[in-house]
Amino acid sequence: METPSYLNDGHGLKSWLLTKDHKRIALLYLISITAFFIMGGLFAMFVRLELLTPAGDLLNAETYNKMFTMHGVVMVFFFLIPSIPAVLGNFLIPIMIGAKDLAFPRINLLSWYIYILGGLFTFVAALSGGVDTGWTFYTPYSTAAANSHVILAALGVFITGFSSILTGLNFIVTVHRMRAPGLTWFRLPLFVWAHYATSLIMILGTPVIAITVLLVAAERALHMGIFDPALGGDPVLFQHLFWFYSHPAVYIMILPAMGVISEIVQTFARKNIFGYSFVAFSSLAIAIIGFLVWGHHLFVAGQSVYAGLIFSFISFLVAIPSAIKVFNWTATIYKGSVSLDSPMLYAFGFIGLFTIGGLTGLFLSTMGLDIHMHDTYFVVAHFHYIMVGGAIMGYLGGLHYWWPKITGRIYSEFWAKIAAGLVFVGFNLTFFPQFIAGYLGMPRRYHEYPPELQVWNVMSSAGASILAVGYALPLVYLVYSLFAGERSPADPWGSKGLEWEIPSPPPTANFEVTPIVTHGTHQYAPSKEVGIV
């Protein structure tokens, strides 16, 4: 009946739960991160509902604290960090490099189980009353004062970190050791470069957060003095260790999205990327510089002014590789033959919103300005422009772009365009007013605020409801396409690249014969760079 593919190679729950096929594991991740996305979204809904009015009328302060904490923990550790790498990266990297699978298929499956185990801890923590420390778990509040399930949530973060480490390890070894003949580093799709840089952050940063939350749990459970000043410890050390991971973690979220955008922009502008090697190296530059900027979270934490100056300067430097990407995408689109299919709409959304998110980051890395804006809604708006306007736009764009490849079905382009529009409008209405509210002095993490700030908060809550519809729509039409969607040809977009040369959905072994690669991807027209390669 159907042509053999990874989807019908084995039926039943067992064939999925014990699979070692990277494509099936990607789908396991897709389903589970979607569940966590909905969970995190519900927590956000309560936050936005509470902030509709200046008085704390819907939730009391303690419940509100738990809501924004759980929103942060779930969205950061269980949705954003695994989103693109574990779903799209898992599915595409072996195919893009002409391999049959990742280097360690069993470890790949293990990483999903570890993720689920960590998720269970967090889920139990949420059900049994939640955590109120903020997703940052700052000490000494988290170890000495907080009266909530800190240890459960910390262990959830600790465990899921190993899933991230194993994914990064698998990608690095795969890219080094499994490339098809002729696929040199500078012929790799930029999606692979972005994931390679992301994997470096995953393996270098994640262990540090692991040991840090382990120490928090030890201090809380055994009263060992590590961070609590009452026990001789230093709470600022916690902040250093925490942000050493958690700042680069932002790049774990945004770099894969940048890889997605690089692919989409080339396909829908019908041009190969402007300045391939600059875009490739800017991924590495972001990963490396990203490790040296964590101190900008500590400008008001009693850090030395000189350290602050250096961290401020290095934070500015991150803007350079980020800007290189934005300029090169723009230059790629320039005079391209642009078609506005839904993935491209998300790409346009990404480029604009990421630019705003990045530029407001410069405001915050300016020490004097940061004193004014620290812990205000300006910061909240800034990082949501990066994480939601950037990372989730990239994720949705990528999901739409590769959906025909993953499922073999075409979704409704009409509804996809409407959803992309709603997400863009809803997002801006939600988060742009927060810049203003924050600048006017609205602090983050309070369930009450002065009445004069209500107008901005009403706009924000209204935008959030539009955003929710924009996020719910794909859930409907993408799932619908599985049953009633038209079957997709191997290359529905007229794109170039190894993943489009094999059938949709791909066969279990990806390639019948190992491909031999003679040029880079997306060679729509000859260019100077091709001559050099």
Partner 1 sequence: MSNGPSRAEHYPGPLHNPPVKGGEARKHHAPHAHHPKLQHHFDSMEQQLDASILGMWVFLVTEIMFFGGLFMAYLMYRWANPDAFQEASAHLDKTWGMINTLVLIVSSLTMAMAVRSAQTSAKPKTQVMWLVLTMVFGTAFLGVKYIEYSDKFAHHLVPGPNFQWPGQYASGAEIFYSLYFCMTGLHAVHMIIGLGIMTVIAVMAWRGKFDAHYFTPVEVGGLYWHFVDIVWIFLFPLLYLIGAHYGAGH
Under the rule (CB under 8 A), what is the footprint of partner 1?
99-105, 107, 165, 169-170, 172-173, 176-185, 203-208, 210-212, 215, 218, 222-226, 231-234, 237, 240-241, 509, 514, 516
- Asked if 466 contacts 422 with a C-beta cutoff of 8 angstroms, the reply is yes
Instruction: Output the smallest distance, CB 22 to partner 1, in A.
Output: 9
Instruction: Output the smallest distance, CB 471 to partner 1, in A.
Output: 34
Quick one: which H or E segment has residue 529? helix 528-532
Q: What are phi and psi of 375, to 5 degrees?
A: 55, 30
Compare residues 175 and 347 and give the one whose CB is closer to partner 1.
175
- Angstrom distance (rounded) from CA 520 to CA 498: 10
Q: CA 241 → CA 134, 222, 244, 401, distances in Å?
A: 16, 20, 5, 37
Compare residues 215 and 468 and give the one whose CB is closer to partner 1.
215
Instruction: Output the smallest distance, CB 99 to partner 1, in A.
Output: 7
Compare residues 225 and 494 and give the one whose CB is closer to partner 1.
225
Sequence-ordered list of residues with C-beta below 8 angstroms from that of 461, at least 6 positions apart, any chain? 48, 49, 51, 52, 430
* Helices assigned H by DSSP within 270-412: 276-290, 305-333, 342-365, 367-373, 377-386, 393-407
- Angstrom distance (rounded) from CA 83 to CA 91: 12
Instruction: Output the smallest distance, CB 459 to partner 1, in A.
Output: 42
Instruction: Output the smallest distance, CB 191 to partner 1, in A.
Output: 18
- Asked if 288 contacts 330 with a C-beta cutoff of 8 angstroms, the reply is no
Compare residues 132 and 499 and give the one whose CB is closer to partner 1.
499
Instruction: Output the smallest distance, CB 240 to partner 1, in A.
Output: 8
Compare residues 6 and 435 and give the one whose CB is closer to partner 1.
6
Instruction: Output the smallest distance, CB 511 to partner 1, in A.
Output: 10
- Structure tokens belonging to residue 236: 């600022």
Compare residues 176 and 372 and give the one whose CB is closer to partner 1.
176
- Angstrom distance (rounded) from CA 217 to CA 219: 6
Q: Comparing C-alpha atoms, which of 214, 111, 232, 102 is closest to residue 165? A: 111
Compare residues 10 and 207 and give the one whose CB is closer to partner 1.
207
